[in-house]
Amino acid sequence: MARVHMYRVLDRDYPHELRELPFPPDPLCIRGELLAAPSVAMVGTRVPSPQAAAYAHDLAFRLASRGVTIWSGGAVGIDAAAHRGALDAGGISVAVIGTGLDHCYPAEHAALYEEIVLTGGALVSPFDRSQHAMLTTFPRRNGVLAALTLATVVVQAPLQSGARSTARFARRLRRPLYVVPSPPWEPLGAGNLAEVALGAHMLSDDGVLFDRLGVPRVRPLPRHEHSHAPPPAVEATTAIEDLACEQLSPECQTIFQMMSSTPLHLDDLCAQSGLPTALVQAALLTLSLQAVLVEGPAGWFRRVTFRKISV
């Protein structure tokens, strides 16, 4: 088990950046290690669009592959996608959590938190170890997240969003603040537009972020060129007839044909297919057991690309 470090505000090695906060956390508990590397906070809504979740994953992947540590708040949605993108790149991630280290919130992220620590990252808590999750604990978490990173990126946020709390701290601390462009008709991104009006930088070219962090630029990867793409001499196929020799139900075939490498949520699958929730859940379970779908956090699913060796 990774060692837990506890710092008090008067300790000599207490992070000086936290002293810029109105109420510096005391104590500050860290499980794992904080490395001296460029760092960026990536935040957003707990219920993102599939496109926003995919973007958060890919941006975190590209940054982490260049040695940037990806920080986020450990929540479902954009936070989880950012953490996962860094881990999928073999990089380092840090989760600043809204509880004490003796508690896991959300509970379904216990495995994610363990992976973050075991791969060289850390869990950071601005509370005593016994602190439970409360409405008041998460804004304090957001301040630590903004203070300990070089820049903050808001991927997708509605007007009322915890991500905007992190953005406010970044603004007050004079940390660079970037927001991903959002169309004006998209309520999930209304907070992004509001942050631009308050002076945030529009992240229309994420190469600007690479420059700010002092790391080499890397071109955005199309979905089929992501890390999960097959290597040379491997031919990818996702045809339904290439599944294992199983007779799939009509419901399974319907759900499978709806899926791609871009994650879809259970609720979207129900709405788009017109099938009852129970049948969609059964089909998702069957396809997951067939290893043709991968389940992500909080009801998100994506298709696995089948691979066939070329001979």
- The per-residue pLDDT for range 216-233, each reduced to its tens digit, is 775 444 433 333 333 333
pLDDT at residue 192 in the model: 95
pLDDT at residue 226 in the model: 39
Cβ(172)–Cβ(143) below 8 Å: no
pLDDT at residue 237 in the model: 36
Nearest alpha-carbon partner for 109 in 77, 131, 76, 78: 76
Which residues of the chain fall below pLDDT 50? 219-245, 305-311
pLDDT at residue 70 in the model: 97
Distance CA 11, CA 17 (A): 13
Going from N- to C-terminal start, the domains of the chain cover 4-224, 230-309
Beta strands in the chain (DSSP E): 4-7, 28-32, 39-44, 69-72, 93-96, 122-125, 151-156, 177-179, 201-202, 234-237, 264-265, 293-295, 300-303, 306-309
Count Cβ neighbours within 10 Å for each residue of 39-69 and write b for 16 or more, e otherwise.
Answer: bbbbbbbbbbbeebbbbbbbbbbbbbbbebb
Distance CA 261, CA 29 (A): 37
Q: What's the topology of domain 230-309?
A: Arc Repressor Mutant, subunit A (1.10.10)
The residue whose two tokens read 């956090």 is 297
Inter-CA distances, 116 with 166, 261, 277, Å: 21, 23, 33
Nearest alpha-carbon partner for 195 in 172, 166, 164: 164
Encoded tokens for 25: 């956390």
What is residue 54's three-state secondary structure? helix
pLDDT at residue 125 in the model: 96
User: What is the CATH class of 4-224?
Assistant: alpha beta
pLDDT at residue 96 in the model: 97
| Maximum distance among all Cα pairs of the chain, rounded to whole angstroms | 66
Q: Which residues pair with 30 in a beta bridge?
A: 5, 124
Rounded to 10 degrees, what is the CA torsion of 225, 226, 227, 231?
A: -20
Q: Is the dihedral of CA 145, 42, 149, 226 positive or negative?
A: positive
